Amino acid sequence: MTAPIEELLRRAFPEARELAVQDRTGGGDHFQVTVVSPRFNGLSLVDQHRLVYDALAAPMEDGTIHELRISTRGEQ
């Protein structure tokens, strides 16, 4: 179920140029998310990932997301 995760990310990053959520294992709780946004420009990768973690805090807290892989970059 990638749709609810994608929805949360779209809300948090409405300006994103690229936004993708992939169910890595098919089990519905291991996700790979990719976000490309000008908001990341000038931010360290740690701070970029923190913004993604913030956006997905609820499903991470309640266990909907068991494992999250993150790939982010600013706009070139």
Partner 1 sequence: MSELKDRIKETIEREPVVAFVKGTHLQAYCGNSERAMQALRSVGASFVAVDVLPDPAIRQELSALSNWPTIPQVFIRGELVGGADIVQELAATGELESKLDEKLGVEWRNGGEERTIALTERENPFRLAR
Query: Would you tell me which residues interact with partner 1 (CB under 8 A)?
Result: 45-46, 49-50, 53, 57, 60, 67-71
> Three-state SS string across the chain, please?
CCHHHHHHHHHHCCCCCEEEEEECCCCCCEEEEEEECHHHCCCCHHHHHHHHHHHCHHHHHCCCCCEEEEEEECCC
Q: Give min distance, CB of 45 to partner 1, in A.
A: 5
Q: Which is nearer to partner 1, 20 or 70 (CB)?
A: 70
Q: Which is nearer to partner 1, 3 or 46 (CB)?
A: 46
Q: Which is nearer to partner 1, 7 or 67 (CB)?
A: 67
Q: Give min distance, CB of 41 to partner 1, in A.
A: 17
The crossing angle, in degrees rounded to 10, of helices 45-55 and 3-12 is 120
Q: Give min distance, CB of 74 to partner 1, in A.
A: 14
